[in-house]
């Protein structure tokens, strides 16, 4: 931390620093200077946060309009400047230092900026622009405990909350012949999901940011354990008696190659897993989230047809 005192001469001030033992990392915030009118001099400090030693970064006090507010200009006033928007679509959210902040998306700090981070203190990088100060745009690090009251979570973070609120339906399993019927080796069994095949959405919101996550079913895995498995690109199609050929398969069907005798309970275990693709949209951004699954378990018995040959019988 470097501290320099200089006198105020007329209306112009010039600062010359020489003989510094180590380079100072200056923060261009207005909080980095304190002037005393009594002796017409100023103390200027530079450091990882641009604050005087021992100073704690002040808790922002400006409020942010609610997410449902249609007037983002309400509620904020800067002394000497006048009314300003609490939330600016281009600049972000206004803090008590008269600067706007927004999350620095996909920002990797260069090595010379890493000293701004405080070891052991959770924080993030923000784009900052101070009202009425030209050239004040910068990317700065701020503690999460401080900025949480100013800048809402990023859309990605809110999207995670929305995804966590998704309630996916359990697949309703249908087969033909039915699950209560002993299937026969080599005979196609039609498979389909009855209902619940469609998008599911959930919305999460914080003041200033609202994100909706939507999950869409994309495939179904029918896993019969030792009996085999089949993956279908859609929900499958219900068998129509009198219309569909029971000896033919569908786009989602299975023909067992062996019986289930010798399996626990004399049946193949069945696990039906629907895979969901998840995306989100909000705050002018879109993205993809990790896929989700929903499952239903059942069991199916499969028998083998036995041929009976009688002695002396003609073919």
Res 183 pLDDT > 60? yes
- Report which of residues 37 and 298 the model is more confident about: 298
Specify if 33 maps to a domain. yes
| Confidence at residue 258, expressed as pLDDT on a 0 to 100 scale | 95
Single out the residue in 10, 31, 56 at which a domain terminates. 56
Residue 311: inside a domain, yes or no? no
Instruction: DSSP letter for 112, please.
Output: G
Same domain, 52 and 84: no
Same domain, 75 and 125: yes
Residues 172 and 249 in one domain: yes
Question: Which residues, in sequence order, are CB contacts of 30 under 8 Å at separation 6+?
Answer: 97, 98, 130, 133
Confidence of residue 221 (pLDDT cuts 50, 70, 90): very high
Domain boundary among 11, 31, 56: 56
Q: Are residues 171 and 289 in the same domain?
A: yes
Is the same domain home to 3 and 38?
yes
pLDDT, position 181: 94
Summarize pLDDT for 132-172 with one digit per residue, the tens.
Answer: 776 667 899 988 888 877 887 788 888 999 999 999 999 99
* Position 27 pLDDT exceeds 60: no
Q: What is the total count of domains within the chain? A: 3
Which residue(s) pair with 282 in the sheet?
211, 285
- Within this chain, do residues 129 and 195 fall inside the same structural domain, yes or no? no
CA–CA distance, 55 with 33 (Å, rounded to integer): 12
Find, among 72, 98, 58, the residue nearest to 209 by Cα.
72
What local confidence, expressed as pLDDT, does residue 105 receive?
80
* Domain contains 312: no
In a domain, 313, yes or no: no
Say whether both 5 and 78 belong to one domain: no
Tokens representing 139 are 């990317």
Q: Name the band, by pLDDT with cuts 50, 70 and 90, for residue 75.
A: low
Given pLDDT bands bounded at 50, 70 and 90, which one contains residue 193? very high
Report if residue 201 sits inside a domain: yes
Distance CA(195)–CA(169), nearest Å, equals: 9
pLDDT of residue 31: 36
pLDDT at 62 > cutoff 60: no
Whether residue 272 lies inside any domain: the answer is yes
Average pLDDT, the chain: 77
Helix (H), strand (E) at residue 146: helix 144-147
Pair (87, 190) in one structural domain:
no
pLDDT at 305 over 90: no
Of 123, 151, 179, at which residue does a domain stop?
151
* Claim to verify: residue 114 and residue 169 sit in the same structural domain: no
Render pLDDT for 234-283 as a digit per residue (tens, 0 to 9): 999 999 999 999 889 999 999 999 999 999 999 999 999 999 999 999 98
Q: What does the pLDDT read at residue 265?
A: 95
pLDDT category, 93, cuts 50, 70, 90?
confident
- Reported pTM: 0.61
- Shared domain for 83 and 51, answered yes or no, is no
CA distance 185 to 261: 12
Residues 65 and 106 in one domain: yes
| Top-confidence residue, 231 or 146 | 231
Residue 127 sits in which domain range? 60-151
Q: Does a structural domain hold residue 141?
A: yes
Vertex 177, ends 173 and 180: CA angle to 5°? Answer: 70
Full DSSP string of 206-263:
ETTEEEEEEEEEEEEEEE-GGG-EEEESS-B----TTTS-TTS--SSEE--SS--TTS
Residues paired with 138 in a beta bridge: 128
pLDDT at 306: 63
pLDDT at residue number 53: 34
Indicate if 182 and 292 belong to the same structural domain: yes
- DSSP type of residue 9: B
């Amino acid at each position: 931390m470097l501290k320099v005192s200089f006198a105020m001469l007329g209306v112009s001030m010039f600062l010359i620093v020489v003989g510094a033992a180590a380079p100072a990392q200056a923060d261009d915030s207005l909080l980095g200077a304190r002037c005393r009118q009594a002796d017409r001099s100023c103390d200027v400090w530079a450091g990882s946060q641009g604050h005087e030693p021992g100073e704690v970064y002040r808790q922002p006090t400006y409020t942010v309009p609610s997410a449902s507010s249609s007037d983002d200009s309400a509620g904020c006033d800067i002394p000497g400047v006048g009314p300003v928007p609490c939330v600016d679509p281009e600049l972000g959210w206004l803090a008590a230092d008269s600067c706007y902040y927004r999350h620095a998306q996909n920002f990797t700090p260069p090595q010379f900026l890493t000293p701004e981070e405080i070891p052991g203190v959770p924080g993030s990088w923000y784009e900052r622009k101070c009202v009425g100060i030209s050239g004040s745009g910068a990317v700065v690090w701020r503690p999460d405990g401080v900025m949480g009251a100013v800048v809402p979570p990023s859309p990605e973070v809110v999207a995670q909350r929305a995804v966590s609120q998704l309630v996916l339906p359990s697949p309703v399993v249908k087969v033909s012949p039915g699950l209560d019927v002993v299937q026969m080796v080599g005979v196609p069994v039609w498979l389909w999901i009855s209902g619940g095949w469609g998008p599911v959405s959930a919305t999460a919101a914080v003041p200033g940011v609202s994100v909706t996550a939507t999950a869409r079913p994309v495939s179904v895995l029918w896993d019969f354990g030792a009996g085999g498995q089949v993956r279908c690109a859609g929900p499958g199609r219900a068998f129509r008696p009198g219309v569909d050929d029971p000896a033919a398969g569908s786009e989602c069907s299975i023909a067992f190659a062996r019986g289930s005798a010798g399996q626990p309970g004399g049946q193949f275990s069945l696990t039906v897993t629907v895979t969901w693709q998840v995306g989100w949209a909000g705050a002018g951004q879109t993205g993809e989230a990790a896929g989700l699954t929903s499952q239903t378990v059942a069991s199916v018995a499969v028998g083998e047809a036995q041929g009976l040959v009688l002695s002396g019988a003609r073919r």
